[in-house]
Structure 1
Amino acid sequence: MNKLDLSNTADRTFPLILRQQATHNGEAAFLVTDSVRISFAEADTMTDRLAAGLLGLGITRGDIVSLFLGNRPEMVLLALAINKLGAIWTPINGDYKGAWLLDNLKMARSKVLITDDQYQDRIADIEDRLGIETIVLLGNTEATSLKGPVNYQQLLDHKPAALDYADLHYGDNCSILWTSGTTGKSKGVLQSYNSWIRPIVDGCSLQYNSLPGDSIFCVLPLFHTAAWTTSIFRALIEGIPCIIEPRFSVTTFWERIKQFGATQTFLLGAMGAFLLNAPERDDDSETPLRLAQIVPLAPNQWPIFEQRFGLQLIRTGLGQSECQLVMTQIENRKDVPVYALGFPADDTTIHLLDDNGIQVPTGEVGEICIKPLKPYVLFNGYFENPEATAEAYFGDYYRTGDLARQDPASGAYFFADRKKDALRYAGRNISTLEVESIVRRHPAVQDVAAFGITSTEVESEQELKLNIILKEGSSDTAEVICEFINDNAPHYFVPRYLEFVESLPYTPTNKVQKFKLREQGVNERTWDLKKSDYIVKK
């Protein structure tokens, strides 16, 4: 373990941090799987080699490299190697395919795309329309449907590049993370080194308070912001191992924890609910895991989870790609419940504003808006979208799109609702506008409204419901509609519920009144995915 002091902003770049760990903590494990154990020193050398290989492909400062890979150490090594060149990495959602994948890759304007055996067929389907100069394959390039990809091993076979990081700055763009498109098309969030490091140093690192011998168990997909903040980059900064799992599995989770001796993890709320719903075992509490953060987890489930699995749960807060640390609970105050968002960081001023940008009285609901008090607290804007960047602000205040209220007694903030037309389920923000745009392409659909129904498993999350008006004479079934969605969009666009209706409640300006649909909920006419024979293809 070697927890770095990053109070000097000049030290806040990932290449410098890796170099420090390689120098002072070189033999310690950094990235771990069933088949590999990569130390910090090995990671530094491997990323120097990869950087040399990428340089040979023409990647230089400011260039963008797309990473469409499964959960594997190579994705971390590539991200660090790309940053060593002053270039920018962007992870592509592993659920994307077809037109959705093509649109995302085109928006990224990448010079190089790196993929693996798991995803190469999806790339092959759209390769002719991509317009990307080079595709690198982490896999067998002699047995691939891709057209002449570069073998990943060729990059790794280069002599280590001798690089100088003196010109890297903690405010430089180092990555682009893509939003779910809550108000239209996805937006690329330009993230600086500091926008990653700040929430770790001032947030989750303080909460986990790692000890010698600790290790992190990462089950989140590496296209998810939280995977890097709570696991990958935190392990890099603290000098402890990070075990990278291919995916979350409720049936093998505890066996894998024991196998690796993992002591810390971060889970999405649905994952926590699945673990609680699994059959109880006599040895449930006999686990090395001592700390877990589960976002969100119902307050009544906290003591049940802690007692059953013999661990301590860490309080959560609020973060998003544009500002990864909005609020947090570090002090664990007894007068503040576990489900509170907590308090703002010292380097921000937070106000709750109404639609006109006016601060609401304490105790009333308003939109969480953030004014940074130091540089590079927030994102560096939306990639090639100055209009969206401008719309995200009230003057000096960034608008989060989340509503909250402040408790007059404790000063703590509490989540109220989402302002944007979106829903959240299983850790994903799903844009109902984007779901509707896909469904409307079906020739039998006249109109559709997509909205959320409160999940029976996690009360703070919602499951997708579609109310559809079919064109006259159409007799298509729910399964037919779902098959169309499944073939043309991410698998989680397939709804849990679907109902064919004769009309939708419109306003005078022809906007659907979705609050009325949410109030109606489900009924005997509603088709339920979980009660059907339809199997979603992932």
Structure 2
Amino acid sequence: MAMPDYSVNDNRVLGNILAYFAQQRPSTDFLVADDRRITYAEAYTTAQRLAAGLQAQGLSAGDRLCLYLSSSPDFVLLALAANLAGIHWIPVNTDYRGQWLAETLKDSAPSLVVTDTAFQSRLAEVSVAAPVIVLGATCEELLSDADFKAPSIAYGDTASIMWTSGTTGKSKGVMQSHNAWVRSALSAAEMGGVDRGDVAYNCLPLYNSAAWVTGIYPALVTGTTCAMDPAFSATTFWERTRFYQATHVFTLGAMHMFLWNAPPQASDADNPVRSAQMVPMPDAIREPFKQRFGINAIHQGFGQSEIMLLMRRYDDGVTPWPPNSLGTPADDIEVALFNDSDEPVAVGEPGEICVREKSPHVLFNGYFNNPQATEQAFHGGWYHTGDLLKQDEAGHFYFVDRKKDLIRYKGRSVSSVAIESVARSHPGISDVAVYGVASAELESEHEIMLAAIPVPGAEVSEAELARHINDNAPYFFVPRYIEFVEQLPMTPTQKVQKNKLRERGLTEHTWDAKAADFEVQR
């Protein structure tokens, strides 16, 4: 059966895609969760009734709807209802509470907040200016049989606002268009070879862009099925793929490492998965992982909320990707690596990856209520991502660091990510964060500082950790300063807030290699 012609802009509007498959594949399951199944026809009808319900609450195109909800099909249906009505839906991380939750809700300026009984008490503890609706087991409270009045929606209109994690400063609301979602979903579906009868399995939280761009929306743009669980479980992951007969999966961060490190089972390869996106998958275990779990391909991708598809590494079984390379840029963008003067860097040198659209509405629509941040991100005709990459002579790209986390040390640009990788390999270290502190000798330079959490009960000294780094990396990776800490400042999404570590600087507990007469071996 024919797919929408995605070269037509009107077919790149999320609500229009749902309407198309509701007509063309009405009985095909769109969303599945345990024994609950929602067909395309049911999803469209319910989304229309919810959109009418949102309009009955006084919301109209351009208003904002905050969804502070557990991950479930109802969350998806509410987001699609907002898409139909031209309302900007904003997922709020369910790990947020207290001040972080209050500030996110305030900055979102919502016309309505929808939550469920699991998080009702947290909302009650903070000030919420907008009305709040608490859902029960489903979203019946918002269903309406009134006539839904559909506004005119263009493919470049904002569909949602996703808040960044706030690791280098205050969170920013990324306004993502319908087209931004569709282009990324189509790419994911193309890489996986998604076809009729396929099932994507999603166990990422729905406040995460990756859940939508690798599971829900790829199913939507192909008229196939997305099976959903509210959370990831390493012990039941493969069992759940068998339960849903899932052919496509996505894992992020340490998820696939938990699967890899689990004790081998005779049933490991007994699953229906044929294609996976696993980011980042270490090259050393990619082929063994595929063999152990019977997966045909493991694809990689690189992007951010502002441009969800920046690069992709397609596993066709033939292309010999160099270790740790990110893949090739998307066809609809132009990329360049620039220095601080917006000049191209030499081959092998780190530079900020900057992006220019080849067609409209590929990049995000700016930062919500933050024109200054938008202006800073877009200048010289390019979007400046804040990510530092380098490129080899063959044209392959490699991640170096976040620009704000790169350390300028004695004339060198040193990657905090690289130093952290070496430090974590010490058996007595649980976790680390590396960052720069101001140099007393030169204002433009920084000394390397490392904050480390020791493994409980481990006896490790700062000098021993410094020697471990010296023995396993270039000598200039050795930190000038090391401090053992009980915990690192984290965002609710469990990302280290290095800006807070930099503000904290040196303390009375900081070990100084120079003062300790530690000798670096070159």
CA contact (8 A) 2:157 2:177 kept: yes
> Is structure 2 residue 133 aligned with structure 1 residue 136?
yes
Please report how far the alpha carbon of residue 318 of structure 1 lies from its aligned counterpart in structure 2 after TM superposition: 1.3
Letter matched to residue 227 of structure 1: A
1:11-47 CA-partner distances (Å, limit 9, x unpaired) = 1111100000100011000010114100000000001
Matches of residues 203-352 of structure 1 in structure 2 within 5 Å?
A: 203-330=187-314, 332=316, 334-337=319-322, 339-352=324-337
Letter matched to residue 220 of structure 2: L
Secondary structure of the 1:258 match is helix
In the alignment, what sits opposite 1:471? none
CA contact (8 A) 1:366 1:405 kept: yes
CA distance in 2, matches of 1:456, 1:281: 32
CA distance in 2, matches of 1:508, 1:161: 68
Match of 1:395 among 380, 383, 386: 380
CA contact (8 A) 2:102 2:128 kept: yes
Please report how far the alpha carbon of residue 172 of structure 1 lies from its aligned counterpart in structure 2 after TM superposition: 0.5
TM-score, with structure 1 as normaliser? 0.78
Please report how far the alpha carbon of residue 524 of structure 1 lies from its aligned counterpart in structure 2 after TM superposition: 3.7
Letter matched to residue 32 of structure 1: V
The aligned length equals 452
CA contact (8 A) 1:317 1:340 kept: no
Distance 1:118 1:519, change over 3 A: closer
CA distance in 1, matches of 2:4, 2:430: 41
Distance 1:199 1:152, change over 3 A: closer
Distance 1:316 1:253, change over 3 A: same
Letter matched to residue 153 of structure 1: E
CA distance in 1, matches of 2:14, 2:167: 30
1:478-536 CA-partner distances (Å, limit 9, x unpaired) = xxxxxxxxxxxxxxxxxxxxxxxxxx964349999876223988644745679xxxxx9
CA contact (8 A) 1:2 1:21 kept: no
CA contact (8 A) 2:91 2:206 kept: yes
CA distance in 2, matches of 1:8, 1:249: 40
CA contact (8 A) 1:326 1:344 kept: yes
Secondary structure of the 2:386 match is strand
Distance 1:320 1:335, change over 3 A: same
CA distance in 1, matches of 2:441, 2:113: 44
Letter matched to residue 319 of structure 1: G
Matches of residues 349-428 of structure 1 in structure 2 within 5 Å?
A: 349-409=334-394, 411-421=395-405
Letter matched to residue 454 of structure 1: S
CA distance in 2, matches of 1:422, 1:379: 25
CA contact (8 A) 1:315 1:338 kept: no
Letter matched to residue 161 of structure 1: D
In the alignment, what sits opposite 1:159? 145
Please report how far the alpha carbon of residue 88 of structure 1 lies from its aligned counterpart in structure 2 after TM superposition: 0.5
Between the two proteins, what is the percent identity of the paired residues? 40
Matches of residues 99-138 of structure 1 in structure 2 within 5 Å?
A: 99-126=99-126, 129-132=127-130, 134-138=131-135
CA distance in 2, matches of 1:239, 1:62: 27
CA distance in 1, matches of 2:334, 2:300: 19
Matches of residues 405-484 of structure 1 in structure 2 within 5 Å?
A: 405-409=390-394, 411-421=395-405, 453-454=420-421, 465=432
CA distance in 2, matches of 1:401, 1:23: 43
CA distance in 1, matches of 2:343, 2:145: 58
Distance 1:331 1:296, change over 3 A: closer
CA distance in 1, matches of 2:270, 2:190: 26
In the alignment, what sits opposite 1:427? none
Letter matched to residue 142 of structure 2: L
In the alignment, what sits opposite 2:500? none
Please report how far the alpha carbon of residue 422 of structure 1 lies from its aligned counterpart in structure 2 after TM superposition: 9.5
In the alignment, what sits opposite 1:517? 449
Distance 1:458 1:176, change over 3 A: farther
Letter matched to residue 130 of structure 1: V
Secondary structure of the 2:299 match is coil
CA distance in 1, matches of 2:425, 2:178: 33
In the alignment, what sits opposite 1:77? 77
CA distance in 2, matches of 1:175, 1:520: 37
CA distance in 2, matches of 1:78, 1:25: 21
CA distance in 1, matches of 2:12, 2:274: 29
CA contact (8 A) 1:302 1:313 kept: no
Distance 1:335 1:301, change over 3 A: closer
Please report how far the alpha carbon of residue 317 of structure 1 lies from its aligned counterpart in structure 2 after TM superposition: 2.7
Letter matched to residue 173 of structure 1: T
1:55-88 CA-partner distances (Å, limit 9, x unpaired) = 1100101000000111100110001111211110
In the alignment, what sits opposite 1:16? 16
Secondary structure of the 1:49 match is helix
Secondary structure of the 1:130 match is coil
Please report how far the alpha carbon of residue 152 of structure 1 lies from its aligned counterpart in structure 2 after TM superposition: 4.0
CA distance in 2, matches of 1:513, 1:360: 20
Structure 2, unaligned runs of 5 or more? 408-417, 455-459, 463-483, 489-493, 495-522
Distance 1:26 1:520, change over 3 A: closer
1:400-442 CA-partner distances (Å, limit 9, x unpaired) = 1111122222x2222222213499xxxxxxxxxxxxxxxxxxx
> Is structure 2 residue 165 aligned with structure 1 residue 176?
no
CA distance in 2, matches of 1:422, 1:217: 36
CA contact (8 A) 1:207 1:314 kept: no
Please report how far the alpha carbon of residue 343 of structure 1 lies from its aligned counterpart in structure 2 after TM superposition: 1.6
CA contact (8 A) 2:117 2:134 kept: yes
Letter matched to residue 101 of structure 1: L
CA distance in 1, matches of 2:16, 2:445: 52
Secondary structure of the 1:399 match is strand
Secondary structure of the 2:256 match is helix
Distance 1:509 1:107, change over 3 A: farther
Please report how far the alpha carbon of residue 269 of structure 1 lies from its aligned counterpart in structure 2 after TM superposition: 2.9
CA distance in 2, matches of 1:349, 1:210: 27
Distance 1:527 1:329, change over 3 A: closer
CA contact (8 A) 1:46 1:77 kept: yes
CA distance in 2, matches of 1:506, 1:339: 31
Distance 1:509 1:330, change over 3 A: same
Please report how far the alpha carbon of residue 161 of structure 1 lies from its aligned counterpart in structure 2 after TM superposition: 3.3
CA contact (8 A) 1:452 1:463 kept: no
CA distance in 2, matches of 1:514, 1:85: 51
Please report how far the alpha carbon of residue 205 of structure 1 lies from its aligned counterpart in structure 2 after TM superposition: 1.5
In the alignment, what sits opposite 1:32? 32
CA contact (8 A) 2:74 2:139 kept: no
